[in-house]
């Protein structure tokens, strides 16, 4: 483990040290202290780290320094450093970080992502760019239109590889890899390392330095965690009850689906609780507007799905509420990691109905601790708390069936009439 205590001990250029000081940073996080010296030497890196650990600065600072020192300028439609991320929000946050850390240098940055017009992005890369942050789909669109080439990339960063897998981007990543030069520096980051991700890392990296910080099971220890047992039909009432408390002044509410996020946002808005939803069906402008409104305290509540919220890095979030308990324990840890950031405290509350008890049990195994039950609220259900816990598979199947019915309330009726019709034919 490194003994670095201050950024001033790192061999970074004065202009970068000035940018770090302006950002208010004094001491590097563990991943920054461990990774930056190796990356300055041009080594490949395998980083197992989640958002909130400081990994963006861990790769941005040495990348900026190496580009500035090399004085290499990209040719038209070429890229010096490519950073691939799964979501638009994360791409924009990384872009903002690079702009801040490279202030005072001549480094050029651009960000490209889907959901918005492509022409301004074509213009942004036309003369070549030092650092390009991109989502996979839009990157391949630009390459397919011959507006961009990757054959001069010297540094490639793959961020949040496990989320890339969840979102179905692995084939796109493999396509991008075939377009990159064999001689390059590669940085690979993932919060978890399932077999397919480990296999991908092995094909991409050459003698990498390995850095692992903040394992998924330990992140949860920083957050006060509670579970509230409640009937499914009473969750809306419980949410409204909590949000009138002044202590709940900056809250992220997680739902399992986009439809669920919209339903919760509508309920809160009708009850004059400032709230907006953020998910994949929202336009890029709507998502950015919701994030800005949340950051600037124009809204009290941001309702999000797992994919939309990954990479959101907002300080001073007071509470995370799992309106629906995730059926994957790692997603729970990612969710509650939105709070208790930058040395601040945070509280996570999960609303649990009968079908979700199996997921709570699985989460407790993953984080290695029991989640405290809060009963002191008007919607506590002894029946739910004492009910038999379903198997995880059965609980998941019942929940998916319930969600499908919510999306299409006439489905059951159609099924009934369909069966009735079939019987008439047989008769």
**What digits encode the pLDDT tens for the residues 316-327?**
889 999 999 988
- CATH fit for domain 7-214, picks 3.30.110.30, 3.40.50.300, 3.20.20.10, 3.30.530.20: 3.40.50.300
Is the pLDDT at 240 greater than 70? The verdict is: yes
Q: Which of 369, 53, 343, 337 is nearest to 214 (CA)?
A: 53
Mean pLDDT, the chain, integer: 86
Distances (CA, A) of 326 to 19, 213, 255, 310, 334: 39, 23, 8, 14, 10
262, pLDDT greater than 90: yes
For CATH 3.40.50.300, list the domain ranges present in the chain.
7-214, 217-407
Task: Report residue 254's pLDDT band, with 50, 70 and 90 as the boundaries.
Answer: very high
pTM of the complete model beyond 0.75 = no
99 close to 319: Cβ distance less than 8 angstroms:
no
Encode pLDDT of 78-98 as tens digits. 999 999 999 888 898 899 999
Phi-psi region of 124 (alpha: psi -120 to 50; beta: other; left: phi over 0): alpha
**Minimum mean pLDDT range among 177-186, 322-331, 369-378:** 322-331
Class of CATH domain 217-407: alpha beta
Q: Which two tokens stand for residue 239?
A: 């949410």
Q: Quick count: other Cβ atoms within 10 Å of Cβ 241?
A: 13
Return d(Cα 354, Cα 333) in angstroms, integer. 21
Q: Cα(first)–Cα(last) distance of the chain, in Å?
A: 77
Does position 222 have pLDDT exceeding 60, yes or no? yes
């Amino acid at each position: 483990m490194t003994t670095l205590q201050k950024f001033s001990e790192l061999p970074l250029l004065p202009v970068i040290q000035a940018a770090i000081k302006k950002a208010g940073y004094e001491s590097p996080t563990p991943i920054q202290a461990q990774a930056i010296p190796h990356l300055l030497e041009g080594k490949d890196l395998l980083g197992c780290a989640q958002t909130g650990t400081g990994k963006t600065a861990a790769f941005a600072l040495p990348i900026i320094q190496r580009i500035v020192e090399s004085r290499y300028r990209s040719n038209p439609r070429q890229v010096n450093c490519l950073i691939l991320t799964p979501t638009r929000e994360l791409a924009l946050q990384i872009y903002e970080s690079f702009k801040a850390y490279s202030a005072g240098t001549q480094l050029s940055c651009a960000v490209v992502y889907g959901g918005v017009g492509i022409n301004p992005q074509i213009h942004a890369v036309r003369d070549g760019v030092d650092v390009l942050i991109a989502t996979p789909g839009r990157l391949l669109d630009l390459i397919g239109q011959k507006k961009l080439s990757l054959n001069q990339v010297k540094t490639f960063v793959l961020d949040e590889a496990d989320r890339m897998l969840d979102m179905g981007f692995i084939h796109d990543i493999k396509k991008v890899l075939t377009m990159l030069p064999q001689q390059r520096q590669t940085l690979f980051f993932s919060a978890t390392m399932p077999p397919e991700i480990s296999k991908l890392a092995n094909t991409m990296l050459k003698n990498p330095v390995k850095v692992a910080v903040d394992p998924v099971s330990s992140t949860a220890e920083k957050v006060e965690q509670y579970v509230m047992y409640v009937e499914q039909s009473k969750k809306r009432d419980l949410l409204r009850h909590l949000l009138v408390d002044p202590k709940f002044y900056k809250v992220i509410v997680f739902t399992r689906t986009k439809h669920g996020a919209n339903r919760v946002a509508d309920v809160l808005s009708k009850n004059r609780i400032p709230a907006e939803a953020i998910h994949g069906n929202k336009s890029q402008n709507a998502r950015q507007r919701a994030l800005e409104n949340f950051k600037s305290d124009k809204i009290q509540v941001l309702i999000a799905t797992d994919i939309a919220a990954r990479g959101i890095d907002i300080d001073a979030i007071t509470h995370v509420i799992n309106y629906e308990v995730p059926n994957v324990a790692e997603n729970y840890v990612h969710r509650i990691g939105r709070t208790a950031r930058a040395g601040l405290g945070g509280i996570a509350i999960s609303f649990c109905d009968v079908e979700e008890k199996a997921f709570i049990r699985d989460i407790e195994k993953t984080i290695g601790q029991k989640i405290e039950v809060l009963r002191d609220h008007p919607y506590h259900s002894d029946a739910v708390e004492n009910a038999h816990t379903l198997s995880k598979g059965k609980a998941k199947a019942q929940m998916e069936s319930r969600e499908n019915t919510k999306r299409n309330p006439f489905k059951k009726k159609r099924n009934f009439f369909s069966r009735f019709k079939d019987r008439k034919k047989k008769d």
